[in-house]
Chain A
Amino acid sequence: MKVDDLYNEYDKIFASNKMPFIKCKTCDKAYYYPRNVCPFCGSSNIEIMISSGTGEIYSCTEFKGGFYGIIKFPEGFGAYMNIDGDNIVIGRNVIIKFREIGGKILPYAYVD
């Protein structure tokens, strides 16, 4: 799969309000940032999967633009994203929602 194909597939999945990730079928590791070769083992035997869409705040920071952080997912991958909701602290569970950011539909984390 070419990297542009991965991005296009991600965009389609975002548009249906779902959270994609990539699973390496050789080493079984998961990652989010699109690479057509597994960064952990070098295999190109990869597959785009759909996450449960829930995660946990690994770390977060507040600044003028709002909250931003690292979300870790039960499937074993992590991602940066904006965080919304109340009581945003490390360890809180989040659900992934979608909105248009800078002209693209992108995931963000929401503390319920």
Chain B
Amino acid sequence: MISGFAEAVYKNYNGSVYDLMDEALGKALEMAGLERKDLDGFMTTFLPGVFDGNIYMHFFPDQICGYLGITPKYIDSLDYGGPSVLSALWRAERLIKDGVAENILLLFGGKGSDVRKRKQTVDSFEKLYPEITNTPYRHLINLYNSMNPVSDYALVAERHKKIYGSTDTQRAELIVKQRKNANRSGYAMFTGELSLEDVLNSPVISSPLHLLEIVYPVDGFHAFIVSNKPGKLRGIRIQNYGEAHQSFLPPEIDDITLTPAAESTKNFRREIAKCDFYELYDSFSITVMLQLENTGIVPKGQSGKFIEKNSISVDGDLPLNTGGGSINRGQPAYMSGSVLLYEALLQMNEMADGNQVKSPGKVFINGIGGWYRNHSVSLILGD
């Protein structure tokens, strides 16, 4: 059960990444009514460049625990990007059930703006540091024109258009509707009116993807405290869980529009249909569409039409990315998983003020990592 959760997110944080960790942790501890000495488990992740510019940090969980003043008896680091925090939640619940620890801190994030300002992403950091390698296939991939991860998402969006007839306008509809959710959420970073024309007239970064369909990397940490008691919060747990991983490159995959989300949800599709709201990984517009189809919420190839026809607001047909998603919150350190989990917890605990899902019994959360095709973590939270 989660006893405390908090975020500390800034467009550009002028200071050390350790301040951001401290801020998120302090707020989560306050919500949980716990102190640092009560934390006996620690889980995190590391991506190059997002910890004060360090391209590598030796024994980094020790560095963080030492700085924060935490002495855990259990430490773990998960290393598959966006959905790692969701896997950490599942593992933490099991560790607590087994009595390994009582209060496990999940601390995920970093300072993405340093990398962003150098006009790279963590997936293209090898262009700045040849010592970093993203692939065992070296020059057979790295010397080409890629602009990762954007160009790879563009390839799947283009393929989806060709095979299923989805359109630029349909993807833009999703962006406009998520913005409406953001305008109601009260805590989004990017708000204000946004029209289809605004999205379609924004620069094409890698065809067919426009600038406003791409998440913006920001600075921030989320802290989640998983405990054996829920404290002041609702005692919610993971009801269904699946993770799936595959490492073939897109050229070696028969159908790139079929992501590991199909595999990670295959055992509980019926339960997904019964959820009250949905938080789907939104690194790009196309990412959400692929998950809608691959998890069985919408038939294959139909996500574009579905988005056009349905409302995704908290009182709509399918409440989806209810806080506006990471597209509007910003993506802390190139990972959106914590943004999804944070919004889900706000809603489940009826803390979303004027943007509250009515009777939030169950939520389906899906995280995607390793661009669109390597990792998927799917879970339902409920009582």
Contacts and interface: CB of A to CB of B under 8 A. Distances in A.
B206 A62 contact: yes
A106 B205 CA distance: 25
A78 B251 CA distance: 5
Nearest to A65: B145
Interface residues of A, number: 35
Interface string B138-169: 11111111110011001110110010000000
A40 B82 CA distance: 27
B361 interface: no
Nearest to B141: A80
Contact of A68 (B145, B204, B205): B145
B143 A102 contact: yes
Contact of B249 (A10, A80, A82): A80
B155 A63 contact: no
Interface in B175-195: none
Given A33-B249, A39-B248, A90-B158, A63 B145 contact: yes
Contacts of B150: 63
A64 interface: yes
Contacts of A7: 138
A80 B144 contact: yes
What is the size category of the interface that chain B forms with chain A? 20 to 34
B144 A81 contact: yes
Question: Interface residues of A: mostly helix, strand, loop or mixed?
Answer: strand
Interface string A88-102: 001100000000011
B154 A61 contact: yes
A5 B139 CA distance: 15
B250 interface: yes
Given A90-B159, A91-B162, A80 B146 contact: yes
B253 to A, nearest CB: 8
Interface in A27-73: 31-35, 39, 58-72
Interface string B258-297: 0000000000000000000000000000000000000000
Q: Which of A7, A63, A104 has the most CB of B within 10 A?
A: A63
A79 interface: yes
A44 to B, nearest CB: 17
Contacts of A81: 144
Contacts of B155: 59-61, 68-70
B70 interface: no
B265 to A, nearest CB: 24
A7 B206 CA distance: 30
A77 B207 CA distance: 24
B146 A68 contact: yes
Contact of A63 (B141, B143, B154): B154
Interface in B108-158: 136-147, 150-151, 154-156, 158
Contacts of B142: 102
Contacts of A60: 155, 158
Interface in A1-21: 7, 10
Nearest to A102: B143
A59 B147 contact: no
Contacts of B208: 61
B98 interface: no
B207 A63 contact: yes
B197 interface: no
A10 B139 CA distance: 12
Interface of B: 136-147, 150-151, 154-156, 158-159, 162, 204-209, 248-252, 256
13 contacts: A31-B252, A33-B136, A39-B252, A59-B256, A61-B158, A63-B147, A65-B145, A68-B145, A70-B250, A70-B256, A71-B251, A82-B144, A90-B162
Given A34-B140, A66-B145, A80-B251, 12 more contacts: A32-B252, A39-B252, A60-B155, A61-B206, A62-B206, A63-B147, A63-B151, A63-B206, A77-B252, A82-B144, A82-B145, A104-B139
